[in-house]
Structures are given as C-alpha cells and as structure tokens.
Structure 1
Amino acid sequence: MIDQGHRSGEAHWPTPEEKKSKTQASQTLLRGLDIIDAVANGIDDLSEIAKVTGMTYSTAHRILSALQQRHYIRREPDQGYRLGHALLGLGYQAQAQIDLVKLAKPLLVELARQTSDTVHLGMPSQDSIVYLEKISSRRPVEISSRVGGNKPLFSTGIGKALLLDQTEEQWLALYDRSPANLQAICDRDKWLQMMRHYAQGGYAFDLGEDESTIRCVAAPIRDGRSHIVAAASVSSTVEYMPPGRMQQLVATVQETALKISTALGYRAV
C-alpha cells in the first residue's frame, strides 16, 4: 500500500515541521563546533564559553554535556573544560590520511627550481632515513639516492634534521651504534657539539660525512603535535655548495619545511 501523500517516484517536499527540525539540528551542530573552538582556544569556564559563543548559559551547558558524553570535551576539576580524547583520536586519524608526499611535492619542486639542486624528502626508520621523494638537480650532478632507499641518520643532512628534538643521550647512543667510518671523520665530542649547534639553529648540514663529495642543507618538518615527522633537504656536490652558499640556503630550506609543516597542522609558537 502506497502512502497517498508520498507516492513512489514522487519528490518528497519537507513539511514546515521537518524544515524546523533540520534547522534546529544544524544550529545545534554549529553551536557544538563553536564550543569546541572556544575550548581549543583556552576558554575553560562555562560562563565565559556561553559569552564568547553568544549562547545562553543553559544552552551552552546542555551542548557541553552532550559533548562530554561523546568524549569530545572533558572537564577537569581544577582546570575547567578541555578537549577530549575523541578529538585527539580524530586528529591522529586525519593526520594519517594526509598523503605527505602529495602534499609536499609542489613545494619541493619549487625549492628545486629556486636552487637548481637535488631536493629530498625523507622520514625516519629506526637508525636510517627512508627517502620518500627526490627531485633531481638541473645541474650535471648525480646524487646516489633513490626513492625508497635508505641512508644512515647520523651521517646525512636529513638524518640529522630528524634528530634535532632528541636528547644528547639519544644522540650519543646513536653515534655509538654507528659504523666506524664516521668516527674516523668526526669524533664523538665533535659530533655532539655539531648536533647542539644544529638543534639551536633548527637545521642540519651534511659536510661530507656520508659521501665526501656531497654537501647538504636540511630542515625538519613537524606535524600538528609539533613532532618532527620528516625532513626536507637541498643537496649537491661540493663545487656547488661552498660554505657561504650552504649558510644562505638554510633560510630557504627552512621556509619550505615550515610550509609543509603548516599544511600538516603545525602552528609555530
């Protein structure tokens, strides 16, 4: 039996009551998002949340209660309202769904155009770096790296950039696990002093520790939690990378790394 008011194949036009219900649902959703934004911006008191969102005290309390039930908001006795673990989980999930290479590639291509050098994107894998992308140089230079290939963290520019947030104990432990060829070039104390300098400046160099003829300038890429998750670099042979040019490239590489970090949700403080 077919409902005479809604025959099969006919468009269903919402009634005034249905329109009102949908409008109220949309308003409630938007108000909930306004509250989440307010809490994310450090507003932790119910009265203040109601004030900045333009809601009545009772409406704000009702929506906050619903958000707490779904763990989007939590309330700490001494600290007021805070973002809940459900939002944290969604944030990690959204982060995981971002294709880093796809996001970064246009910026890497532009960096390669600006510098005419080989540009890399890499991420850590235990004591190694894995190359995710490589934009080849326009110069007659060949860098012995490949997408999917590995190089040591301790001797490459990208690798050192990935280590900048680690402790000195972690740096030295990595050095002690490293092959003897680096130790012949750079002793333990010198390497530690070098890493301290790089950590202060937010960049890293490869001064021939990996390949004697190659020089590299690298900078870390951070995610929305401010964690270093990858690094970008510019590399060439020593003839194209005198010390003065390497120093000039620091700001250029850092700018590209920051743009990629910002796209990943990073906000500089």
Structure 2
Amino acid sequence: MAQTPHRSTSRVLDIFDLLSTTMEGFTLTEIAQALQSPKSSILPILQTMASRNYIDLDYRTNRYTIGINLFCAGSIYHNKISINRFIDLEMQQLTRRTDEACCLGTLEGDHVLFLHRTDAPDAISCHKSPGQTELACLGAVGKCLLCDYKLDELTELFFKDGGRLPPQLNLYRAHIQMEETRITNLAYEYGEVEPGIQCVASPIRVQDRVVAALGVILPSFRVNPEKAMTAAKALPVSIQKIENILSTTDESLDEVFSLNGFKNL
C-alpha cells in the first residue's frame, strides 16, 4: 500500500529541490509561488532551515540560497557517486514526476545517439533507447543538440558528401524550430520520427556549449495538455541540476556522455 507523503517533510524537500536550481536564490514570495503554498506556511520552515545552516538568507536581497550544511552533505554524496549515476537518478526522478520514459542523447555526426533511458511502469517501446540513433534534425532531442547551429553549418552537416534528407523535411523550417529551442530551451516533436510518439526535450550545456539533451517520451494516445505542461515544467529543473553538477566535475565529458559511461548502471 502506497504511503501518503508527509506534507511538512515534502515542503522541506521541495525547497531543497528549488534552491538547487540556482546560485542566485529565491525570495520568500518566489518560493511560496513556486511551491503554490502560502508564505505563512513556508516562512517558519525557512527560518528553521536557516537556523540550522541548511540554507542561507542574504539580508540585503532577502534571497534564500543553499547553506553550508547542505553543501557539506552534498559534497559527501558527490564524492560517493559518479556523474553518470547522478544523471541516472535525476532521470528517474523526472520519470516519476511525469509518469513517462525519459531519454538522454548526444550528437554523433548528423545523428542523435541515445545513451540512456529510464522507464515508467507502463512505458511503451520506441527507438529512443540506448544504442539507437535517429536523424538529428527530425526529433526534439536532435533539435536541442543542434540549437546553436547556423543554417550554413546545418547545410554543411547534412549535405556534405552527397547527403540527402527525407523529402518531407525542410531544413530551413527545422532551423527555425532550432532557433526557438535556443531561446526557450524546449524542443518538441509530434510523430515526425515515429508515428504515435511525441517528445519534449531540453539541451544540457556546459560552459554555454550543448553537450547532450534530455527528453520526455510522450505516447500520443495518452498525451494531454496537463501532461505536456508537467513535462515542460519539470525538464528545466532536472536540466539545471545536471548542469550544476557537471560544472563541478573533473570527469571527462566525452566519457560521461558515452554508451560506456551508462553501461553498468
């Protein structure tokens, strides 16, 4: 029998999740709005967490940030697991939030190479699985990986050595979608790669360079506006956490974002 989450404990963890997405922190009002809770309920929790040094309050800006005690606990955990394991755990959390499978891919030539996937209990089979590839200008993950490319760079990538695109694909229109992704950090597909499979994805950046992309796989038969919105809101939170941990690692990104990196998870 599933247990009902303890409300106060859940709020503490929600605050940790929220503060872990930014270095600038959030005000009481912003935290209350993000958690959809009254400030009168959130403030005592924040005061207790601050008194125990798990969060900090900057009295000049009234912004709360991660505190030294949480940093120490996180540092121990960071040394305990690999970056690949951290990404796997974050993808599992994203799967639980959306009740859908999540996929991670990187660019290999003009194709997306899928590296890792986490499945919900009722996930369906599709090609977005480790070791599989798809043409990068077709799907949401590929549009994220190519979102910084200029049109002439895309032309060189896809048409060099006599390359050809599917007749239904217009590279100029695909480039416009990639430009939108660069601005919004979200890309979408609606069955362009596989009939009945939709996807929403976000790019993962290290030092402003796209190194991978994370997507939520949405089977068309159970997609609704609420589910699509949940995925679009949850993705940036997971992306920020992954980018934060990547910014502190000494591990080789080429090794992290490889099939071998996720092989033994």
Task: Give the TM-score normalised by the residue count of structure 1.
Answer: 0.55
Query: Alpha-carbon deviations, 1:167-203, whole Å to 9, x = none?
Result: 232234445566543x41x433432322222221112
Q: Are positions 1:200 and 2:179 aligned together?
A: no
Q: Residues 100 and 123 of structure 2 are in contact (CA less than 8 Å); yes or no, is this contact kept in structure 1?
A: no
Q: Which residue identity lines up with residue 161 of structure 1 in the other structure?
A: C
Structure 2: how far apart are the matches of 1:128 and 1:252?
A: 26
* 1:231 paired residue number: 213
Structure 2: how far apart are the matches of 1:129 and 1:200?
A: 21
In 2 relative to 1, CA 238–161 (structure 1 residues): closer, same or farther, beyond 3 Å? same
* 1:111 paired residue number: 94
* 2:203 paired residue number: 220
* 1:188 paired residue number: 171
- Equivalent in 131, 137, 140 of residue 148 of structure 1: 131
In 2 relative to 1, CA 100–123 (structure 1 residues): closer, same or farther, beyond 3 Å? farther
Q: Residues 118 and 143 of structure 1 are in contact (CA less than 8 Å); yes or no, is this contact kept in structure 2?
A: no
* 1:136 paired residue number: 119
Query: Alpha-carbon deviations, 1:85-124, whole Å to 9, x = none?
Result: xxxxxxxxxxxxx954222011000000111111011111
Structure 2: how far apart are the matches of 1:108 and 1:140?
A: 14
Structure 1: how far apart are the matches of 2:245 and 2:138?
A: 28
Shift of 1:155: 1.2
Aligned residues: 166
In 2 relative to 1, CA 123–116 (structure 1 residues): closer, same or farther, beyond 3 Å? same
Q: Residues 148 and 178 of structure 2 are in contact (CA less than 8 Å); yes or no, is this contact kept in structure 1?
A: no
Task: Give the TM-score normalised by the residue count of structure 2.
Answer: 0.56
Can you give the 5+ residue segments of structure 2 that lack an aligned partner in the other structure? 1-80, 249-265
In 2 relative to 1, CA 112–137 (structure 1 residues): closer, same or farther, beyond 3 Å? same
Q: Which residue identity lines up with residue 214 of structure 2 in the other structure?
A: A
Structure 2: how far apart are the matches of 1:132 and 1:124?
A: 10
SS of equivalent to 1:144? coil
Q: Residues 197 and 217 of structure 2 are in contact (CA less than 8 Å); yes or no, is this contact kept in structure 1?
A: yes
- Equivalent in 255, 261, 267 of residue 237 of structure 2: 255
Structure 2: how far apart are the matches of 1:265 and 1:169?
A: 30
Q: Residues 143 and 236 of structure 1 are in contact (CA less than 8 Å); yes or no, is this contact kept in structure 2?
A: no
In 2 relative to 1, CA 263–192 (structure 1 residues): closer, same or farther, beyond 3 Å? same
Name which structure has the greater RCO, CA cutoff 8 Å, separation 6+: 2
SS of equivalent to 1:192? helix
Structure 2: how far apart are the matches of 1:179 and 1:238?
A: 28
Q: Percent identity?
A: 21
Structure 1: how far apart are the matches of 2:175 and 2:195?
A: 20
Structure 1: how far apart are the matches of 2:172 and 2:147?
A: 17
Structure 2: how far apart are the matches of 1:99 and 1:173?
A: 36
Structure 2: how far apart are the matches of 1:168 and 1:153?
A: 14
Q: Residues 141 and 236 of structure 1 are in contact (CA less than 8 Å); yes or no, is this contact kept in structure 2?
A: no
Structure 2: how far apart are the matches of 1:102 and 1:257?
A: 15
Structure 2: how far apart are the matches of 1:198 and 1:244?
A: 21
Can you give the 5+ residue segments of structure 1 that lack an aligned partner in the other structure? 1-97
In 2 relative to 1, CA 212–175 (structure 1 residues): closer, same or farther, beyond 3 Å? farther
Instruction: Output the aligned Cα RMSD.
Output: 2.4
Structure 1: how far apart are the matches of 2:229 and 2:172?
A: 23
Radius of gyration: which is bigger? 1
Q: Which residue identity lines up with residue 127 of structure 2 in the other structure?
A: S
Structure 2: how far apart are the matches of 1:245 and 1:172?
A: 35
Q: Are positions 1:246 and 2:239 aligned together?
A: no
